[in-house]
Amino acid sequence: MTQQLDMPSPVAIKLPTPVLSAPLPQAERARLVERIKYLFKKQDAVLVAHYYVDEDLQRLAEETGGCVADSLEMARFGNTHAARTLVVAGVRFMGETAKILNPEKRVLMPTLQAECSLDLGCPADQFIPFCDAHPERQVVVYSNTSAEVKARADWVVTSSIAVKLVEHLKARGEKILWAPDKHLGDYIQRKTGADMLLWNASCVVHDEFKAQALLALKRQHPDAAVIAHPESPQAVLELADFIGSTSQLIQAAKNMPQQKFIVATDRGIFYKMKQAAPQKIFMAAPTAGEGASCESCAHCPWMAMNALDNLAQTLETGANEIHVEESVRVQALRATQRMLDFARTIQQPNRGD
Ligand code: 13P
Ligand code: SF4
């Protein structure tokens, strides 16, 4: 069972004021898109983008043979694509995962300031002693972690395979130490009944969804389905008709019979949801209500730092390259490669579209 008593105190995170690019006029965006396409060809580069980044970047990835995907598929795509340079539009752990898997490739990001509250909430110097204190447990970490944390793990997972991996470990009689997301860990524990000790961190976006306000919105739209990412709090997940990773949420939006959806994840995903089901209506789950701080308002402040202009500048200058110290990379590769191998054995489907 979940051992709340042993859960460490959360690490204080100061959210940086995001350095957002100013919205660009259409003519400037078109010029940048053409320039980036030229630089991709010249530098043998491909764009690997997450569903939460700006839709200009998602469209550019689609138009240039790149991918728009969840964290697992981003890792797989970068690992199998022949390009010499991977340009990762997302947050830092995604660039690091690409480098861990592809040391021979150049990995660039539009900005190196794009962090993740889960990664920041699980510093290696605090996490490693916690693991050392529980040597009887398999260490399973979410991919939203630093290379140093992955290097201490037995397994890396993403939300699309986490339940299946924990079921697999439970069937082998393993006890689990899970990090960093307490809500995802709690959800997996409830689904699988596995013995899980949870780290205490959360996602700044999903943590802000409010169950009371969601209930009120559901009452206003009784014909709408609620679909939620499992990084959301338990009270929100209890109101959901479907829970899944970003790819699985897009699939659900396409396949479920409802015409209206209340979506508890980053609203960047609406670009792909509208593409997958153009006739359907999508509403963001509420982040307002009692206790609201609305630091994210359903959009990750770090994902929002990726833009056409800093992407173009990165390609022009070669700045923002991801480096992972080789001994850390080799250690982190073990658990990261296990994630890809496990996903293959359960034949985890590819993207949400
Ligand atoms: P996915 O792996 O479901 O894309 O989630 C990544 C993430 O950062 C969600 O907040
Ligand atoms: Fe991290 Fe949350 Fe942003 Fe995803 S949405 S990158 S989990 S802070």
What does the pLDDT look like over 220-233, one tens digit per residue? 999 999 999 999 99
Ligand 2 pocket residue status of 189, Cβ below 6 Å? no
Q: What is the pLDDT of residues 146-190, one digit of tens each?
A: 999 999 999 999 999 999 999 999 999 999 999 999 999 999 999
Give the distance (Å) from ligand 2 centre to CA of residue 171.
30
Give the Cβ contact number of residue 323 at 10 Å.
11
Closest ligand 1 atom number to CA of residue 229: 3
Give the distance (Å) from ligand 2 centre to CA of residue 42.
32
Contact between 139 and 223 under an 8 Å Cβ cutoff? The reply is no
Residue with the smallest CA separation from ligand 2 atom 7 is 203
Give the Cβ contact number of residue 319 at 10 Å.
14
Give the distance (Å) from ligand 2 centre to CA of residue 144.
8
Q: What is the pLDDT of residues 295-341, one digit of tens each?
A: 667 889 999 999 999 999 999 999 999 999 999 999 999 999 999 99
Share of the chain above pLDDT 90, in %: 87
Going by C-alpha positions, the residue among 85, 79, 91, 101 that lies closest to residue 36 is 85
Tokens of 69: 């995907």
Residue 23 vs residue 90, higher pLDDT? 90
Residue with the smallest CA separation from ligand 2 atom 3 is 300
Which residues are near ligand 1 (CB < 6 Å)?
Answer: 70-71, 144, 158-159, 203, 231, 245-246
What are phi and psi for residue 177, nearest 5 degrees? -110, 120
Closest ligand 1 atom number to CA of residue 90: 8
Residue 290 vs residue 84, higher pLDDT? 84
Mutate to test the pocket of ligand 2, among 209, 249, 303 (most ligand atoms within 8 A of CB): 303
What are phi and psi for residue 47, nearest 5 degrees? -95, 125
Closest ligand 1 atom number to CA of residue 118: 8
**Mean pLDDT, to the nearest integer, of 248-265?**
98
Q: What is the pLDDT of residues 108-127, one digit of tens each?
A: 999 999 999 999 999 999 99
Mutate to test the pocket of ligand 2, among 54, 72, 116 (most ligand atoms within 8 A of CB): 116
